[in-house]
Amino acid sequence: MKDLNGWINEGQIMMAQREKKIKRAKSWKFDTVATHGLYDLQQALSSHSGSIMEPVYMSPAQAYSDCNEMEAALSYQIPTWCYSRIANPSTYFLEETIALLETYGSDIIASGLATSSGMSAIKTATDPFLVKDDKLPPPNIVSCAKVYGGTFQQFWIRRYQEQGIEVRWICDPGNLDEWLSKIDNGTRFVYGEFPSNPSLTIFDIESVAELAHSFSIPLIVDSTCATPAITRPLLFGADIVVHSASKAISSSGTSIAGLIVARKNIISKIGPDEMKADFASWAKLWPFRDNGPSIHPMAAIMTLNDMRSLRMMVDKMSQSALQIAEYLHNHPKIENVSYPGLPSFPQKKLADKYMHLVDSDRSAFGYMMLAEIKEQNPGESINTRNFYDGLDMIWRATDLGRVKTIATLNSISTHQQQGEEGRSLAGINPNAIRISVGIEHPDDIIADLEKGFSNI
């Protein structure tokens, strides 16, 4: 029988093995990392009955062989999963893989944390910076105004209206002076989407990270619409990346899921040293344990299954999206198309700097665009609604990053609840339609868009 120290020694051996596997995965190409992560033959044979795919552990809890192992595990002195609200062996494989993908092409070491949704990832990633600290001025958040509707509401309703935390919106994220004018000693973190959903606004991650760090605060980036196949913000100085893994990361659409990836030693003027040293692992073991936003292990494995083909999916979607953006841009019934791949994109230089298909020399600008339909009078949406209702194959839904092409009329859906003022901050006009390009043949997508135009 092992005593407590015996178990702790065993735990150290397991941790050394994990380090070795991370090192091995760091030498692989992106698709190989996405396919294998840390799960290998040796682990399959020793612990998982030889299963070549990562098994789904539905069990809520883990058993221990004796009180010494339990004591070592529950004091977090050995790798353990204890209880599926905190950790789970299936979820572990997803978390390790996304941490590797977000740091791909660098020697940055990061940790991952999977959550029940993208919104809970954002909440879990931001909560720890908003805690009370009597030595600091009242907290404020500095964030791009052009963010996902749910994020806007989380910040504006939950953080500001309910909790009184000031939210300072950045209206022109390309303008570094605006960031500088809004950050002060009360700012706890800086937040932006890259690119923003649905307005496709981007910002200079490197400069904004540098600015945030000069105030000793972290930059948090929602990279849902780029995915690590295109942009990896940690490589440009961001501290934490959040994802709605409900989107392109799981493009075949089986689950709602969120992911957080934090590099080691984030910059923050608040929080314990353990938090700064390894934010995602700390968040998982402490606040996450108490708040309970964990993902279901089945959803974790389905997300992981889709994530293996992320690069190929994003490549195909991005190529088709560019073709469709060009078609729409030249269409007489279109007012404007925002897509980072178009020469007319106002932040084209930044897009070219940050958006490349990983492991290729090609640029890739993602699957999402915002198209504005020509109206007789500004502020109207008559033609827009006719176009939208004329679509046949393309789905009318509030979804994106899917293998199926989806169109969203944002002013009446994703951005309905934030009102006129909120929509104008977010740059959402009544004639704006977000198109998320899937993996169908682009000719068929264009033929369906024609049906929409012929209904105007």
Which residues are 338's β-sheet partners?
370
Q: Does 153 bind ligand PLP (CB under 6 A)?
A: no
Rounded to a whole number of angstroms, the minimum distance from the CB of residue 161 to ligand PLP is 20
Based on CB atoms, which residue is closest to ligand PLP, 79 or 150? 150
CA dihedral 89, 94, 97, 103 (to 10 degrees): -120
Q: Say how far apart CA 300 and CA 441 lie, in whole Å.
A: 29
In whole angstroms, how close is the CB of 370 to ligand PLP at the nearest point? 13
Looking up tokens 């073991």 gives 285
Cβ distance 426 to 199 under 8 Å?
yes
Does 244 bind ligand PLP (CB under 6 A)? Our answer is: yes
Instruction: Return the residue of 54, 222, 239, 315 that touches ligand PLP, per CB under 6 A.
Output: 222
Interface with ligand PLP (CB under 6 A), residue from 151, 201, 250, 384: 151
What are 356's strand-pairing partners?
A: 363
Please report, to the nearest 10 degrees, the dihedral formed by the alpha carbons of residues 365, 156, 276, 34 taken in order: -30
Q: Determine, following the binding rule CB under 6 A, whether residue 204 of this chain makes contact with ligand PLP.
A: no
Nearer to ligand PLP, 72 or 144 (CB): 144
The residue number with the shortest CB distance to ligand PLP is 118
- Number of chain residues interacting with ligand PLP (CB under 6 A): 16
The verdict on 253 binding ligand PLP (CB under 6 A) reads no
Site for ligand PLP contains 193 (CB under 6 A) = yes
Q: Which is nearer to ligand PLP, 188 or 243 (CB)?
A: 243
**Is 150 a residue that touches ligand PLP (CB under 6 A)?**
yes
Distance between alpha carbon 219 and the CA centroid of its chain, in Å? 14
**Is 148 or 203 the residue whose CB approaches ligand PLP more closely?**
148
Binding of ligand PLP at residue 237 (CB under 6 A)? no
DSSP 312: H
Report how far residue 243's alpha carbon sits from residue 256's, in angstroms, rounded to the nearest whole number: 11
Alpha-helical segments (H) within 169-309: 176-182, 205-214, 273-277, 279-285, 287-291, 297-307
The least distance separating ligand PLP from the CB of residue 414, rounded to whole angstroms, comes to 9
**Is the preceding peptide bond at 343 cis, omega within 30 degrees of 0?**
no
What's the one-letter identity of residue 75? S
Query: In this chain, which of 143, 246, 338, 411 binds ligand PLP, going by CB under 6 A?
Result: 246
**Cβ atoms of 208 and 176 closer than 8 Å:** yes
Residues within window 103-122 making contact with ligand PLP, judged by CB under 6 A: 117-119
Tokens 């020697």 -> residue: 107
Q: Which residues pair with 167 in a beta bridge?
A: 141
Cis bond upstream, residue 195 (ω within 30): yes
- Parallel/antiparallel/unpaired status of strands 166-170 and 258-263: unpaired
**Smallest gap from residue 358 Cβ to ligand PLP (A):** 20
Beta carbons within 10 angstroms of residue 23's beta carbon: 10
Instruction: Please give the Cα distance from 301 to 299 (Å, whole number).
Output: 6
Which CB, 368 or 449, lies closer to ligand PLP?
Answer: 368
Which amino acid is present at 357? Answer: L
Q: Which of 80, 140, 224, 250 binds ligand PLP (CB under 6 A)?
A: 224
- 303 counts as binding ligand PLP under rule CB under 6 A: no
Torsion of CA 444, 450, 455, 456, to 10 degrees: 150
- Shortest distance in whole angstroms from residue 380 CB to ligand PLP: 27
d(CA 174, CA 195): 12
Task: Tell whether residue 256 is a contact of ligand PLP (CB under 6 A).
Answer: yes
CB of 209 to ligand PLP, least distance (A): 19
Q: Say whether residue 146 binds ligand PLP (CB under 6 A).
A: no
238 belongs to the binding site for ligand PLP (CB under 6 A):
no
CA distances from 408 to 152, 226, 239, 455 (A): 18, 18, 31, 17
Minimum distance between the CB of residue 73 and ligand PLP, rounded to whole angstroms?
Answer: 31
Residue 157 or 447 with smaller CB distance to ligand PLP: 157
Tell me: does residue 437 bind ligand PLP (CB under 6 A): no
Nearer to ligand PLP, 78 or 142 (CB): 142
Q: Minimum distance from CB of 119 to ligand PLP (Å)?
A: 4
C-beta of 107: minimal distance to ligand PLP in Å?
28
Residues lying near ligand PLP in the complex (CB under 6 A) are found at: 117-119, 148, 150-151, 193, 197, 222, 224-225, 244, 246-247, 256, 258
